[in-house]
Amino acid sequence: MLRQTVDARPYAAPYGIAVRTAFEPIEKSVQPFRGKERTFSPNAELFSEGEPADCVYKIIRGAVRSYKVLGEGRRKIEAFRLRGDVFGFDSGKAREFCAEAIDDVCVLIARRNTVVGAADYETIRELWEASARELKRVQQHALLLAMTAPQRMACFLIEMSRRLGGHPIVELPMPRQDIADYLGLSIETVSRTFARFEASGLISLPTSRHIVLRDADVLQRMHE
Amino acid sequence: MLRQTVDARPYAAPYGIAVRTAFEPIEKSVQPFRGKERTFSPNAELFSEGEPADCVYKIIRGAVRSYKVLGEGRRKIEAFRLRGDVFGFDSGKAREFCAEAIDDVCVLIARRNTVVGAADYETIRELWEASARELKRVQQHALLLAMTAPQRMACFLIEMSRRLGGHPIVELPMPRQDIADYLGLSIETVSRTFARFEASGLISLPTSRHIVLRDADVLQRMHE
DNA sequence: CGTCATCTTGATGAGACTCAATTGCTGTGG
DNA sequence: CCACAGCAATTGAGTCTCATCAAGATGACG
C-alpha cells in the first residue's frame, strides 16, 4: 500500500474572487481562499446529491462527511473532509454526493462558475491537479476496501492521525456508524476491532472518541 | 485472498514493433490523438509502477489491465482498459500502477509533455475532464467494492457489456483471475457466481469467455 | 494423446454480519 | 444529588457469506 502522501493536504486554488465577504489565509495553504463564511450545525446538509455543483468549499472548523445513499437504508461514505480541506470541485454540473456536517462546521464558500467559466489557463490547470489529487485519494480508498477489517481500521487510524495533525492522540469527530460506512464494515465490527486493538496494546480508548495510538508502526505495517 | 500470476509471463515480447507514426481521431475525445503505434503480446508490460509517467496511451485493439501488487502474492486490478480507451495521464511524475497487456494489444503512444506542456487552454481543460471522468469511474469502483459478490459480478457484467459495445453478448478478454482481482473476490467465487447466474437464467455461458446477458434488467437492478 | 493452464465443483472453516441484550454517556427534571 | 430517558457504544450468540484447500473437468496445443 502506498504511502504516497495522499494529500490530506488540501490545496487552495485561486478560486473565485467571488462575493468577497471574508478573507482567510489558512495555514497550510499556499494561497488564500476567498469566499463567504457560513456555519452548519451537526447533521446539517451542505449540499445534496443531484443539486447544481456551483460552489467550492473550504473547511475552517469541524468535519464533513460526503456520502451516497444506496437504497435499503445503506449508505456509503466516500470521504471525510477535515479542517483545511478544499472540496466540491466536481466536473459535472450536478453533485455526485451528499455533504453533511458531522459536528459544528464553519466553511468558506466560493462560487465555482467564476472559476470554470474563466478562460484562465492557470486556473484550469490547478483544477486539473486538484482532481488528480482527489483521484489518488479515491484510488487509495478503493485499495482499502479490498482488505480485511483490521487492516481497514489500521489504515483509517493512520490516515486520521496524519490528517488531524500527526499526533498520536486522535480525537475522532465522527460516530462509529460513520466509520463503519466509510470502511464498508458494520458498526459492531468497528467496535470489536477497536477493542481487539486495545487488548493487543496497539491503542488506548480513554473515551469512544479519543484514540491514543500506542504502536503506530505496527498499525502502519498491518496494511502494507 | 487472491493468488498471484505475475511471475507466469512466459512469452512476454520485449517491446512491440513500433515504427510507424499514426494519426487517430479519438471518438471519446474532441481532439485527435497522435502517437506512435505499438503492439504488445499477452502479459507484456506497457509500463510498471514507479516508472516515469511521460506517455499517454490509446488502445486500438486488445485489452490492458492496470494493477498494483500488494505483497503476499496479492494483486489488485484497478482498471481494465479496452479498445478506444485513453489512459496514462497521471498528474504525478511516476506511475501509480502497472499496466499489462491481457491479450494481443495495439496502442497509440503519445508523449505526455507535448500534451501537458502545451499552453493550450482547451487541451488542459480536456485533460481536466478526462481526470474527472476517471475520478468518477474510480468512485463507482469503490462503491462496487462495498457490495456483495453477486452485486459486484452483476455490476461488472453490465459495465463490460456497455464498454464492449452494448451488446448482450459479451466476449471477455480476461481470465477469471483478473476478474477476481478486479472485484476483490476469489477466483472460485467468480466461477460459482457465474454458475448461479446461469442457473437463474440471468446469463448463458457458451464458453467461459463468452457471456450472454439474458436478463440485463435484473442484473442492473441487482446493484441499484 | 499427454501436458499444462484454466476453469469448475465440493467440503470446510474463518471472518464479518445480524439480531439482541447490556453497558455507558449526556442531558433533563424531580 | 439522584432517577430517568434517550442515544451511542459495546458485547454476546448465531448465521451466512465468502476464502481456502482440494479434487476433478475442460480446453488449447504440441
**What is the distance between the alpha carbons of residues A185 and A81, in angstroms, rounded to a whole number?**
20
pLDDT in tens, A70-121: 988 899 999 999 999 999 987 778 999 999 999 999 999 998 766 555 556 7
**What is the distance between the alpha carbons of residues A18 and A20, in angstroms, rounded to a whole number?**
5
- Alpha-carbon distance values, A76 to A97, A177, A196, B62 (Å): 10, 11, 25, 34
What is the nearest CA distance from B125 to chain A, expressed in angstroms? 6
Give pLDDT, residue A6. 33
Give pLDDT, residue B169. 96
User: What 3-state class would DSSP assign to B171?
Assistant: strand
Would you say the C-beta of A194 is within 7 Å of strand D? Answer: yes
Would you say the C-beta of B150 is within 7 Å of strand D? Answer: yes
Handedness of CA A71, A73, A78, A82 (dihedral sign): positive
Q: At residue A12, does pLDDT exceed 50?
A: no
B128/A70 CB distance under 8 A: no
Residues of B in contact with A119 (CB under 8 A): 121
The residue with greater pLDDT, A178 or B3, is A178
Give pLDDT, residue A130. 81
Q: Which residues contact A219 (CB under 8 A, 6 or more apart)?
A: A154, A157, A158, A197, A202, A203, A213
Give pLDDT, residue B150. 98
In this complex, the nucleotide whose C1' atom is nearest to the CA atom of residue A209 is: D9
Give pLDDT, residue B155. 98
pLDDT in tens, A115-150: 555 556 777 777 778 888 899 999 999 999 999 999
pLDDT in tens, B100-137: 999 999 999 998 766 555 556 777 777 778 888 999 99
Candidates B112, B122, B133, B145, partner chain A, best to mutate (most A CBs within 10 A): B145
Give pLDDT, residue A72. 82
Candidates A124, A137, A179, partner chain B, best to mutate (most B CBs within 10 A): A124
Give pLDDT, residue A30. 38
Closest residue of chain A to B134, computed from CA coordinates = A135
pLDDT confidence of A24, banded at 50, 70, 90?
very low
CATH 2.60.120.10 domain locations along chain A: 14-144
Q: Provide the number of CB pairs (under 8 Å) joining chain A to chain B.
A: 90
Q: Is A122 on the interface with B (CB under 8 A)?
A: no
Q: Which residues contact B223 (CB under 8 A, 6 or more apart)?
A: B144, B147, B151, B152, B154, B155, B158
**Is CATH 2.40.170.20 correct for B14-144?**
no
DSSP codes joined into one string, B80-113:
EE-TT-EE---SSSB-SSEEEESSSEEEEEEEHH
Residues of A in contact with B184 (CB under 8 A): 145-146
Query: Distance (Å) from CA A73 to C1' C24?
Result: 27
Q: B-contacting residues of A 168-207, CB under 8 Å?
A: 184
Task: Nearest by CB to A146, from B76, B92, B96: name it.
Answer: B76
The overall pTM is greater than 0.75: yes
Contact A121, A128 (CB under 8 A): no
Contact B141, A145 (CB under 8 A): no
Give pLDDT, residue B21. 34
B146/A76 CB distance under 8 A: yes
CATH 1.10.10.10 domain locations along chain A: 149-222
Q: Is A119 on the interface with B (CB under 8 A)?
A: yes
The domain B149-222: what is its CATH number? 1.10.10.10
pLDDT confidence of A32, banded at 50, 70, 90?
low
SS (H, E, C) chain A: CCCCCCCCCCCCCCCCCCCCCEEECCCCCCCCEEEEEEEECCCCEEECCCCECCEEEEEEECCEEEEEECCCCCEEEEEEECCCCEECCCCCCECCCEEEECCCEEEEEEECHHHHCCCCHHHHHHHHHHHHHHHHHHHHHHHHCCCCHHHHHHHHHHHHHHHCCCCCEEECCCCHHHHHHHHCCCHHHHHHHHHHHHHCCCEEEEECCEEEECCHHHHHHHCC
Residues lower than pLDDT 50 in chain B: 1-30
Find the mean pLDDT for residues A9-24: 33
